Each structure stands twice: as C-alpha cells, then as structure tokens.
Amino acid sequence: MTKQNRVRNVTENPCNMCMPMGAIVPFKGIENAMIIIHGSQGCATYMRRHMAEHFNEPIDVASSSITEQGTIYGGENNLKKGLENVMQLYKPELVGILSTCLAETIGEDLGRTASSFTREQGEGFTARLVPVSTPGYGGGHYEGYIQALYSIVVQLSQKTEKHDRINVFVPHISPADIREIKRILELMEIKYTLLPDISETLDSPYIQPYRRIPAGGTPLQEIEAMPGARATIEFMTMLEDELSPGKYLESEFGVPLYRLPLPMGIEACDELLRVLKKLSSKAVPEVIKKERGRLLDAMVDSHKYNGAGRAAVFAEPEVLYGVTRIMAENGILPAVLATGSKSPALKKLLQSLTADCDEKAIILLDSDFVSIQDHCANRKINLAVGNSDGRFISEQVGIPLVRIGFPIHDRIGGQRILSVGYNGTMMLMDRITNTLLAEKLSSYRQDMYQSLYKYPSAAANDH
C-alpha cells in the first residue's frame, strides 16, 4: 500500500443509511400524508425503528410486503392492495410511494402503478400519489431526502397566481431547528411555505385523542401554489441544479432563488437576516438584534476554551458545513470533516471555509466510521461532533461526542436539539465548549500531577 488513503471495498461502521430512509422524512413533513415503501416488509420496519428511536414518536410507514411470489411475478398487486389498505386505515390526502433495491431491480414501475391505481379508484378518489425512485443502492439517506423533496415539488406544484408567500426549503434538520427558522420568519413578518415542515409532525405535543397522522406539516395546497411565490430560500448550497427544487421553480416559473447555507454561525445568520430584510419591508426587530448581541458576547466569553478544541465532525452535508463554520469562527480546529454523501460541491466549500485554519482539514466524502476513527488518531482529535453513531469512537478511544443530526439513539430528545439561528448557534457552541471544559476539568489535576510532579522529564521531552 503506497497510497496513504488506500481504497477499500468493504464499508466498516457506515455513515450512510439508505435512500428510502432519507425519503421518508420529507413526506413526514407534509400535512396529512402517509408513506408506503414498495419492497420487502423488513425495509419499512427497520426504517421505522430507526426513526422512532430518534424522534420518540410513532413512525407509521406502510410496506407493500413483497414476498417470493411478488419477486418472481411482479409486485404491482401488492402495491395496489397496500395503497387501498393505507387509504382505509389512515385516510391520507397524499401518499408517498418509495421504491427499494428489490422493487427497482425486479423492474417495478411506480409511476405506472400509481396512475393505474388512481384510475381504478374512480372519481371519488382525491388523494395525491407521489412516487419516488429510491433504490437502496442509488445513494445514501441524504440523496434520498433530496430526491423526495425534489419529486414532491416537481410533481405537485402548479402554475398559480402570484401570492405574497415565499418558499423555504430545508435540509434534514431537527424539528426544533425548523421552529426556530419559522420564528425568525414570523418576527420578520414574512409569510412562507416551508417544506418539509416536520416541526409538529415529528415532535408532536401530547394530545387526546391520538391522531394516527399527527397534526402539522406543510399543507398540500401551499406546495401546489409554490410557483406563485415571490421568492424561494433554499438552505442547501451544495445541491446540483437538477436536484434543486428552488432551481426548478426559478427556471420553470421564474421564482427568484436565494441559496443560503443553514443559519449556523454568525456570518450565515447575518446572511439570512440580510436576505429577509430585503424580502420584508420591516427592519430587523430588537429581539433578534439582542439575540445576535448575546451570541457575540458568548463567542468572546468562550473563545479561549474553544482554542483547545481539535474536532472531528460527521453529519449530512449542510449540517456538516454549518458546524464547520461555527468552529472556524470560534477558533476550534475543524480537523477531520466527514460525511457519507459523495457531494463534490461540499468538498470545495469546506476547503475554502477552512483555508485559513492553522492546519489543513482532512475531508472525507463517502466515508465510514472506521476511516474517521483512523484519522482521529492521526490528528490528535479531542472532540467529536455528529450523530450518535459516533459513540463507537467515543467508547473505543475516549473522544467525547457532542450529539447533533440524525440519528441520535443513545440520548433522549434528538428532535429538540436546537442548532440554527443566533440562539441555536449559541446553544451548540455552549454544548461544544462545555464538553471541552468537562473533559479538561475531569482530569487536569491528575494530568498535571503526572506530567509535572511525577514524571517531569517526560513532559519536558514532549515539548
């Protein structure tokens, strides 16, 4: 092996989940929507389990339960029967139909099945069916999310009269993050259609009686009317044009597009507020200015502690970029940056973002956790930020983990973690700084005793 990064075939401890998993999320953010996965029964069950443990919410996703018969003779009848049963049990206004590796490989045509099903149901059938091709081998959960979001917009939006809302597209961020973005929009008195809006559906309050499809989510009518919006904000700067719903609305219907990074870090938040100021006739209200001021104050308060941080970050592209920005602004070294996605645009963005850092960042696309762990050792990492799959690294080499993103399986409240806006940036920073402090305070007496009193010559040799 002469090359430093040898090319491996095997994936060890994956950063990726599969495409249909990611595609479930946007549909969960649409009002009164349900999902059916066209594949073997296990796919839906595994994904439900994975999401239920993160959100602490019931995650109902149907399956067409393809069996051996269906694999040989085709699964169309299974899917149609499945759709009928979903209609009876959930009475949704919209059903997302997602394919799997199995369905794609045996050549199932979701679009054809959806239209013939609609036809067969007759005039009384008003539910909208949105088929999305999401073979498990076609990409990771990030790509599945993007594919579903794009398909929803392309299949549902219709030429509409102009109205005064703006469109807002978000990547997979927490319900708490979405609530914060909505709060900022409302403070700026901007009317909006935010898609997908999982802020209520995947973090629903206790209510009685129980609703099988929780309240909330983006209303179907508003998605249909997206072409009439006066602008689009897309919090995804690394999307290729052909998968960007904002680009689609711009080129097809002339809706002006603002592509912004997630508001994580002072500069990205400012950038958002400047755009919102332009879209609103209103000045930035005092309450937001104070939040900004408090963030600046917090940055100064914690900057010396942060200077000791050497971080590995692993997340989906936009969140990874956002966390890296916060680190770069606050003197934490973003040393190892990894994602399961292959996004080429991300690499360039991260390179320019970290260009001024003291050491060159290692950027790992299409990565797995064993690669991340190997690099953590090389770069003397003392802080990990990412989803709970990183706990393995914490457990094995003792690097503390600040949890953000999806999934978070070993702590409660993944759906309530706030990391966007001035407030969210400050809260994420506090979590990071306090983790560094806790690490230092838990051992510094012992460390100093060992290095200065017991073995002083060893310490001298180190320097």
Partner 1 sequence: MKNMAMKELDNEIIKERSKSIRTKGRQSQPIQCEADSVAGCVSQRACVYCGARVVLNPITDAVHLVHGPIGCASYTWDIRGSLSSGSDLYRYSFSTDLREEDIIFGGEKKLARCIDELVERYHPGLLLVYATCIVGVIGDDLGAVCKAASLRHKIDIIPVESAGFSGNKSDGYRAACDVLLRMIASEEAVPKKDNCLNYLGDFNLAGEAWIIKSYLNEIGIHVNVAITGDSTYDTLLEAPSASLNIVQCAGSMGYMGKRMEQIYGMPCMNISFLGLEDTMDSLRRISSFFDNYFISSRAEALIKREYELYAPVVESCRARLQDKKAAIFVGGGFKAISLIKQFRELGMEVVMVGTQTGREEEYDTIHQMVTDGTVVLDDANPSELETFMLEQGADLLVGGVKERPLAFKLGIAFIDHNHERKHPLSGFIGAANFAQEVYATVCSPVWRYLNLDGI
Q: Which of 23, 30, 98, 102 forms a contact with partner 1 (CB under 8 A)?
A: 102
Q: Determine, following the binding rule CB under 8 A, whether residue 444 of this chain makes contact with partner 1.
A: no
Looking up tokens 């690499």 gives: 347
Q: Determine, following the binding rule CB under 8 A, whether residue 273 of this chain makes contact with partner 1.
A: no
# residues near partner 1 by CB under 8 A: 74
Quickly count: other Cβ atoms within 10 Å of residue 221's Cβ: 12
- CA angle (250 as vertex; 245, 251 as ends), nearest 5: 100
Q: Determine, following the binding rule CB under 8 A, whether residue 162 of this chain makes contact with partner 1.
A: no
**Where does 246-293 show beta strands of DSSP type E?**
257-259
Could you tell me which of 407, 420, 423 has the C-alpha nearest to residue 202?
407
Task: Point out which span in 9-17, 233-241, 304-312, 317-325 binds partner 1 (CB under 8 A).
Answer: 9-17
Q: Determine, following the binding rule CB under 8 A, whether residue 120 of this chain makes contact with partner 1.
A: no
Q: Could you say which residues in the range 27-56 bind partner 1, by CB under 8 A?
A: 36, 39-50, 52-53, 55-56
Least distance from partner 1 to the Cβ atom of residue 38, Å: 9
| 192 to 231: interface string for partner 1, x by CB under 8 A | ------------x-xxx-x-x-------------------
- The whole-angstrom separation of Cα 384 and Cα 320 is 12
* The two structure tokens encoding residue 419: 């990391």
Q: Which of 5, 73, 85, 449 forms a contact with partner 1 (CB under 8 A)?
A: 85
Q: Determine, following the binding rule CB under 8 A, whether residue 70 of this chain makes contact with partner 1.
A: yes
Q: Determine, following the binding rule CB under 8 A, whether residue 65 of this chain makes contact with partner 1.
A: yes
Looking up tokens 């946007």 gives: 26
Looking up tokens 């479930």 gives: 24
- Cβ distance to partner 1 smaller for residue 62 or 156: 62
The residues facing 140 across adjacent strands are: 18
Q: Determine, following the binding rule CB under 8 A, whether residue 61 of this chain makes contact with partner 1.
A: yes
Least distance from partner 1 to the Cβ atom of residue 102, Å: 4
Least distance from partner 1 to the Cβ atom of residue 18, Å: 3
Helix pair 141-156, 245-253: axis angle to 10 deg:
20
Q: Determine, following the binding rule CB under 8 A, whether residue 20 of this chain makes contact with partner 1.
A: yes
What Å distances lie between residue 412 and 15, 385, 399, CA to CA?
A: 21, 17, 20
Q: Which of 138, 256, 331, 400 forms a contact with partner 1 (CB under 8 A)?
A: 138
Task: Point out which span in 60-68, 263-271, 420-428, 431-439 binds partner 1 (CB under 8 A).
Answer: 60-68
Q: Determine, following the binding rule CB under 8 A, whether residue 378 of this chain makes contact with partner 1.
A: no
Spatial neighbors of 315 by CB under 8 A, at least 6 apart, are 323, 339, 385, 386, 387, 404, 405
CA–centroid distance for 6 within its chain = 29
Q: Could you say which residues in the range 313-372 bind partner 1, by CB under 8 A?
A: 370
- Cβ distance to partner 1 smaller for residue 80 or 230: 80
Could you tell me which of 31, 453, 19 has the C-alpha nearest to residue 218?
31
Q: Which of 25, 59, 363, 384 forms a contact with partner 1 (CB under 8 A)?
A: 59
Q: Which of 3, 68, 122, 161 forms a contact with partner 1 (CB under 8 A)?
A: 68
Backbone angles phi, psi at 358, to 5 degrees: -60, -35
Do 404 and 419 touch, CB atoms closer than 8 A? yes
| 402 to 431: interface string for partner 1, x by CB under 8 A | -------x----------------------
Looking at this protein, which amino acid is placed at residue 242?
E
Do 31 and 95 touch, CB atoms closer than 8 A? no
Q: Which of 5, 73, 105, 454 forms a contact with partner 1 (CB under 8 A)?
A: 105
Q: Which of 93, 106, 230, 260 forms a contact with partner 1 (CB under 8 A)?
A: 106
- The whole-angstrom separation of Cα 420 and Cα 178 is 8
